[in-house]
Structure 1
Amino acid sequence: MPQITMESVESSQIHSIGHDAASNTLAIRFKNKAGEPSSLYHYANVSAEDYAAFKGAESIGSHFYKGIKPFAEKYPYVKVESVSKSEQA
């Protein structure tokens, strides 16, 4: 699994994003209900162009929930990491 550099974003539900062009992998770390960093997911088949459109979207969350999440066949995903409350303390 690629090690992907993450970048914080302005979003109510997404904490940070990153992309590995060599493997076309999108990394998304979500926020929990308290707005703290939570689970990390990797989405496959996300090209550099797809990532640029995602990163540049007016609403990153809206772009994700409308253009990536509903298309699990095109962008299969895997949960890479969970963050529990004890790990965040």
Structure 2
Amino acid sequence: MRCTDMRACRFKQSSMIERAAYDEDVQSLCLSFKQTGKYVYYDVPAQVFDALCKAVSVGAFFNTEIKGRFRCRRDPERRRFGPNA
């Protein structure tokens, strides 16, 4: 799954998450973390994406409403660079 052609929102104030993209057809949420890259979360209801985009603290919302609640994996399209790639 690519993190393009989806509903998206950016988080300029967040120190943790740069942006989120959501594909309603397959209920997948792609989060771009500032430190660790992109992760795809599966079977996420649209209401969760909408609430994330409106959250006062994106990181706190992620930690309480998304992290550990949905199956996820590192975005397979992400290219890794560096000595440990």
Out of 66, 69, 72, the residue aligned to residue 77 of structure 1 is 72
Give 1:2 shift. Answer: 4.3
CA 1:59–1:83: 2 relative to 1, 3 Å = farther
Cα distance in structure 2, aligned partners of 1:20 and 1:79 = 16
1:26 aligns to 2:29 (yes or no):
yes
Structure 1's unaligned 5+ residue stretches are 33-37
Cα distance in structure 2, aligned partners of 1:69 and 1:39 = 15
Q: TM-score, normalised to structure 1's length? A: 0.74
Q: How does 1:1-89 map to 2 (within 5 A)?
A: 1-4=1-4, 5=6, 6-9=8-11, 10-32=13-35, 38-71=36-69, 75-80=70-75, 81=78, 84=81
Describe the superposition over 1:10-65 as per-residue Cα deviations: whole angstroms up to 9, x where unpaired. 21111111101111011100012xxxxx5110000111111111111111110001
Identity among equivalent positions (%) equals 25
Q: Alignment partner of 2:47: what SS? A: helix
